[in-house]
Amino acid sequence: MERNLNLLTVEEARSILRVGRNVMYDLIKNGVPHIKVGKQIRIPYDGLIAWINQQTIAS
């Protein structure tokens, strides 16, 4: 069973969200789905998009 997780670096994720480095790390600490690979943090693209959709406020 092969699955492409499409893991993003912190820099790639913050570019998508258009936030600064410190804000991105705060978001990771407070709910953005992520995994640790050794000392590095990776963010699944699908998880990031799902998190964004959960944060969206309907008007």
Residue 38 is predicted with a pLDDT of: 95
Sheet containing strand 7-8, edge to edge, reads: 7-8, 40-44, 35-37
Full set of structural domains in the chain with CATH: 7-55 (3.90.105)
In the prediction, which pLDDT does 4 show?
62
The string of pLDDT tens digits covering residues 1-58 is 456 679 999 999 999 999 999 999 999 999 999 999 999 999 999 999 999 999 987 6
Q: Could you give the CA distance from residue 9 to residue 15 in angstroms, rounded to a whole number?
A: 10
| pLDDT at residue 2, as a whole number | 54
pTM listed for this prediction: 0.82
Identify the pLDDT of residue 57. Answer: 79
The confidence score (pLDDT) of residue 32 equals 96
